[in-house]
């Protein structure tokens, strides 16, 4: 009988489980530990304009996922305006529209951004080289000379851009540059010159993120392309590279704000940053719910809480399997300890243990009287269930009277399971004596406590809830354990006398 299919299934489960988990970690930045803090920026854009008493159309560029930042949530406040989010070759944009508006108007857009150092920029294609650049006299000569000067001192597109921008620097500004600057803004001029020299480039707008800043405006940057690379240059200093705190707000070379039917339009930004637990940051993720990103987070909050518990049950079951197969602990009822452990999560450990022992002990005393009545099994267990409910009610009322609110959580115990436990223990007591009851009862409690410790561990809760792939890994582990033919730990003690001679 070949075991190959078995190992194939186990291997497949392991590979798929690990792959899904790693995918969630890498692609969605879900951290492995719950304590990790993530920095989140909250940026508010305020659009101001004076409407002229007719239809108004506002079109504003919006940031996208980019190197270093990932979009979490976005909101707008624009009463009375129609709103649409567009995504086309001009990048992501918001369009507000209104049929009739007059006077000063304000539109708000806020976005939460997760600082994600691992986040990659989407592929950016080089814009076509602009060949339609026309200079008027005498700017054409000045431009040609500026280009020639910088060209001579450079080796490639990036060094050319650097040299060009340096020539705009104060101390090296020649008269050609001064002449050109009388007619053009610095950044559009640089883009024109670069294109003129055959280097694709465009002007993009970025926001320098600084905590607590208000009324900031976007800064202009020059994006230079060479082959399949691009680099960002500061048009003021010529420094190459994107500063870490720069958020590219508009990166398609378009206008940041276009307003029709209004005057005096401007956009200003305010921002603040805070740290929040990684798990919360994950929850706010604008997840595209594809099959691979399959996640419990897409469910309503109430169902999420339910699933948090359900997804822990395999962990408890794994503890039971390990203790029975590898250690050899006897429990009363195979998975009863898992249910007791679930109750412990609600009651906390000490209260739970005390409550459990009280209920079972009192239940056993009453059950021993019931056994004298010589009842049929189902009737007897039902009588025990009612007894357990009575005990739990009594303890709840008593503990409340004495001001012990912890006692009220005793109602979380699964009563039918408790009743069967009492029934089984009682039969065990009659047939095998109190020693066996202690062994199995103690084994069950020990298993329940260990299962509780595992299921209540914040790290395990975080992992099981955020990485569904872990369930497949657990499945593979349990299949492997089901195939274990070696000795149990307690057998090393049981069989010791045989090895002694």
Partner 1 sequence: MWTTPDKLRAKGIIGMNRRNIRYIGRYNDRRLYPLVDDKLKTKLLAQEYGITTPALIGTVTTQFGVKHLRGMLEGHHGFVIKPAKGSGGKGILVIEQSAGDVYIKPSGAQIRLEDIERHVSNILSGLYSLGGSPDVAVVEALINFDERLSEYTYEGVPDIRVIVFKGYPVMAMMRLSTADSDGKANLHQGAVGVGLDITSGTAIRGVQFDRTRHDHPDTGHELISLRIPDWRTLLLLAAGCYEMTGLGYLGTDMVLDRDRGPMLLELNARPGLAIQMANGEGLRPRLDLIERQPEGGSPEQRVAFAQQHFARQSELREAEPEPSAVAVG
Judged by the rule CB under 8 A, the positions of this chain that interact with partner 1 are 325, 328, 374, 376-378, 431-432, 483-488, 491-499, 501
Rounded to the nearest whole angstrom, what is the least distance from the CB of residue 495 to partner 1 in the complex? 5
Q: How far is the CB of 442 from partner 1 (least distance, A)?
A: 17
Q: C-beta of 494: minimal distance to partner 1 in Å?
A: 8
Closer to partner 1 by CB, 115 or 428: give it: 428
Two tokens at 403? Answer: 């001001």
Residue 12 C-beta: closest distance to partner 1, Å? 22
Residue 125 C-alpha from the chain's centroid: 29
198-209 burial, b at 16+ Cβ within 10 Å, e below that, comes to: ebbbbbbbbbeb
- Select 302 or 501, whichever has its Cβ closest to partner 1: 501
CB of 424 to partner 1, least distance (A): 12
- Comparing CB distances to partner 1, the nearer of 178 and 493 is 493
Least separation in angstroms between residue 385's CB and partner 1 is 16
Beta strand 91-116 pairing with 37-61: antiparallel
Neighbour-count burial of 289, counting CB atoms closer than 10 A to its CB (0-12 exposed, 13-18 middle, 19+ buried): exposed
Q: Which is nearer to partner 1, 163 or 423 (CB)?
A: 423
Cβ closest to partner 1, residue 368 vs residue 483:
483
Nearer to partner 1, 179 or 326 (CB): 326
Q: What is the DSSP string of 66-94?
A: BTEEEEEEEEEE-TT-EEEEEEETTEEEE
Write the DSSP assignment of 430-487 as a string of letters. Answer: HHH-HHHHHHHHHHHHHHHHHHHHHHT-HHHHHHHHH-THHHHHHHHHHHHHTT--S-
Residue nearer to partner 1 on the CB measure, 21 or 331:
331
Nearest Cα to Cα of residue 285 among 92, 119, 472: 119
> For the range 72-75, what are the long-range contacts, defined as Cβ-Cβ under 8 Å and sequence gap of 24 or more?
72/40, 72/111, 72/112, 72/113, 72/114, 72/281, 72/284, 72/285, 72/286, 73/111, 73/112, 73/284, 73/286, 74/109, 74/110, 74/111, 74/112, 74/286, 75/109, 75/110, 75/111
Q: How far is the CB of 383 from partner 1 (least distance, A)?
A: 14
Taking the least distance from each CB to partner 1, the nearer of 169 and 482 is 482
Give least dist CB 431 to partner 1, A.
7
How far apart, in Å, are the Cα atoms of 187 and each of 110, 131, 140, 267? 27, 18, 18, 19
**Residue 8 Cβ vs partner 1, minimum distance, rounded to whole Å:** 19
Which lies closer to partner 1 via its Cβ, residue 290 or residue 485?
485
Q: What is the DSSP letter of 327?
A: I
């Amino acid at each position: 009988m070949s075991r190959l299919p078995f190992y194939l299934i186990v291997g497949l489960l392991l590979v798929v489980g690990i792959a899904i988990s790693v995918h969630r970690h890498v692609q969605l930045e879900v951290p492995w530990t719950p304590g990790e803090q993530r920095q989140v920026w909250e940026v508010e854009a305020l659009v101001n304009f004076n409407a002229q008493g007719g239809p108004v159309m506002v079109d504003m560029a919006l940031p996208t996922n980019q190197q270093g930042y990932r979009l979490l949530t976005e909101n707008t406040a624009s009463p009375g305006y129609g709103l649409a989010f567009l995504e086309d070759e001009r990048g992501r944009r918001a369009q507000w529209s209104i049929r009739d508006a007059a006077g000063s108007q304000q539109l708000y857009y806020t976005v939460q951004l997760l600082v994600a150092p691992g986040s990659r920029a989407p592929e950016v294609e080089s814009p076509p080289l602009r060949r339609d650049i026309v200079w008027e006299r005498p700017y054409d000569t000045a431009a040609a000379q500026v280009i020639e000067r910088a060209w001579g001192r450079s080796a490639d597109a990036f060094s050319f851009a650097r040299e060009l921008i340096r020539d705009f620097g104060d101390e090296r500004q020649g008269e050609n540059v001064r002449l050109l600057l009388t007619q053009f803004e610095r950044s559009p001029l640089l883009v024109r010159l670069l294109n003129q020299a055959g280097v694709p480039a465009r002007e993009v707008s970025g926001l320098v993120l600084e905590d607590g800043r208000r009324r900031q405006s976007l800064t202009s940057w020059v994006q230079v392309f060479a082959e399949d690379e691009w680099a960002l240059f500061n048009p003021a200093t010529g420094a190459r590279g994107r500063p870490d705190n720069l958020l590219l707000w508009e990166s398609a070379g378009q206008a940041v704000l276009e307003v029709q039917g209004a005057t005096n339009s401007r956009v200003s930004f305010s921002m603040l940053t805070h740290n929040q637990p990684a798990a919360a940051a994950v929850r706010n993720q604008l997840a595209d719910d594809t099959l691979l990103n399959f996640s419990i987070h897409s469910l309503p909050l109430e169902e999420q809480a339910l699933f948090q518990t359900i997804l822990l049950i395999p962990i408890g079951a794994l503890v039971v399997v390990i203790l029975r197969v590898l250690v050899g602990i006897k429990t009363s009822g195979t998975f009863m300890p898992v249910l007791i452990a679930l109750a412990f999560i609600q009651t906390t450990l000490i209260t739970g243990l005390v409550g459990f022992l009280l209920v079972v002990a009192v239940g056993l005393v009453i059950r021993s009287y019931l056994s004298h009545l010589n009842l049929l099994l189902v009737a007897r267990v039902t009588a025990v269930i009612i007894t357990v409910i009575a005990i739990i009610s009594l303890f709840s009322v008593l503990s409340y009277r004495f001001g012990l609110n912890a006692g009220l959580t005793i109602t979380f115990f699964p009563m039918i399971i408790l009743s069967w436990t009492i029934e089984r223990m009682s039969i065990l007591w009659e047939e095998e004596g109190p020693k066996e009851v202690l062994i199995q009862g103690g084994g069950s409690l020990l298993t329940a406590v260990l299962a509780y410790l595992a299921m209540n561990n914040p790290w395990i809760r975080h992992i099981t809830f955020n990485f569904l792939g872990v369930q497949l890994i657990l499945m593979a582990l349990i299949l492997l354990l089901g195939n274990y033919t070696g000795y149990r730990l307690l057998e090393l003690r049981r069989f010791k006398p045989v090895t002694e001679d």
